[in-house]
Amino acid sequence: MAELDQQELHREMTAWRRDLHAHPEFGFEEKRTAAFVAEKLRAFGLEVAEGVGGTGVVGTLTRGSGNRAIALRADMDALRIAEQGTQAWRSQTPGTMHACGHDGHTSMLLGAAKLLASEGGFDGTVRFIFQPAEEWGRGALAMLDYGLLERFPFEEIFGLHNMPDLPIGHFETRSGPVMSAEDNFEILLKGLGGHAARPHAGQETLVAACALVVNLQTIVSRRLSPADIGVVSVTELVTDGIRNALPGLARILGDCRSFRPEVSAAIEKEMRRIAEGTAQAYNVAAEVAYTREFVPLINDVGLVDEALAAARTVLADDAVRVAAEPMTASEDFARFLAHVPGCFVFMGNGGTAPLHNPAYDFNDEGLLHGARYHAALVRRRLGD
């Protein structure tokens, strides 16, 4: 097996990453990105399946005679954000950019595929999963619905995300809950609009909506156990009123986070009760729509140790840590973990702009760390 020149691989991954950054594509529209990925994987000698759950791609690499299989996963989609960066590789698509570093994740997984295809060092099968539409939480389900687990079976799955708060070259993760569920809600308050000078003649909805926004804040503070983590955020309040006309309709929208299904269920139940009670108190009607967009991301205890050990073979010992607290952001990778055990880790992106910021850019200094971490993990889990 030919040993790859790591500096050359780093240069190559940097070129891929910047090419992908310049050509961002929104979830399920990743046609160019998927073709880019498939072409590279074929060139490295992998078996490639395209169109796996929309624009998803799966590469398969087998060495030796082992019958174990593990999966490594990257996400390919960009966001509808107008880039403010001035770098030469900035987005060429107005209003769309890689503001979450999925261009980096895709390039690192391609780098790992090249490394493992060239050098081997494992016995079994590796599935390289490039998923579409992570940002709006639909891509993993689309791949699972397509039959990912039946057509490309694997026993464990690993993923990573870059993290601007962490120094470059640092990795961290934790056992159990790592990232939260995300639920969305929309509450409609319906009454009867009318003249601003004659509120008693109608059933206006704005005062009721303001009371409801405040009352919803008692779900976490008064209805959940202090030992449970929950977030209820009202993010929009829109009415059909104008300056001298009271609104007959108010829409309240928002977002809830939690780490346990029981907490998510309790938040929904309390929200429905409070919305109905408040509406009744103000003589209007309430309709509540509550949807679950992301499930909580739960790491496998044993595989967290394996992931940290693999990271320590690539990075300085003291740069690999167990994270103290879970995050209340959400991640579509959780959908895979509902079926097979695995581990999701965070990798430092250094002092860049925050994720989803118009000035964000993935830090190319981290590319080799990510690719080598993936390869180390495969060699550890599929040791020959």
Query: Using CB under 5 A as the criterion, which residues of the chain lie in contact with Zn ion when the complex forms?
Result: 100
Nearer of residues 20 and 216 to Zn ion, judged by Cβ: 20
Task: List Cβ neighbours of 159 (8 Å cut-off, separation of 6 or more).
Answer: 72, 73, 74, 333, 336, 342, 343, 344, 345
Q: Measured between alpha carbons, how far is 345 from 356 in angstroms, rounded to an integer?
A: 19
Number of neighbours of residue 275 by Cβ within 10 angstroms = 22
* Two structure tokens written together for 281: 């108190």
**Other CB atoms within 10 Å distance of the CB of residue 147:** 11
In whole angstroms, how close is the CB of 236 to Zn ion at the nearest point? 20
Helix (H, G, I), strand (E, B), or coil: what is residue 144?
helix
Nearer to Zn ion, 100 or 315 (CB): 100
What's the closest the beta carbon of residue 329 comes to Zn ion, in angstroms? 8
Amino acid letter for position 151: R
Instruction: Classify residue 310 by burial, with Cβ atoms within 10 Å: 0-12, 13-18, 19+.
Output: buried
- Residue 62 or 328 having the CB closest to Zn ion: 328
For residue 162, the minimal CB distance to Zn ion (Å) is 8
- The least distance separating Zn ion from the CB of residue 75, rounded to whole angstroms, comes to 6
DSSP string, 343-378: EEEEEE--S-PPTT-TT----GGGHHHHHHHHHHHH
Least separation in angstroms between residue 61's CB and Zn ion is 25
Q: Give 16 or 282: the residue with its C-beta nearer to Zn ion.
A: 16
> Looking at beta carbons only, is 12 or 332 nearer to Zn ion?
332
Q: What amino acid occupies position 253? A: L
Q: Give the rounded distance of the alpha carbon of 20 from its chain centre.
A: 18
Numbers of helices and strands, H then E, in the chain: 11, 16
Name the minimum Å distance from CB 112 to Zn ion.
18
- Residue 344 C-beta: closest distance to Zn ion, Å: 11
Q: Name the residue with the smallest CB distance to Zn ion.
A: 100
| Smaller CB separation from Zn ion, 100 or 263 | 100
Q: Which residues of 312-325 are buried (b: 16+ CB within 10 A; e: fewer)?
A: bebbeeebbeebee
Q: How many angstroms separate the CA atoms of 72 and 353, rounded?
A: 27
How many angstroms separate the CA atoms of 269 and 226, rounded?
18
Between residues 239 and 330, which has the closer beta carbon with respect to Zn ion?
330
What is the closest distance, in whole angstroms, from the C-beta atom of residue 134 to Zn ion in the complex? 6
Residue closer to Zn ion, measured from CB, 182 or 300: 182
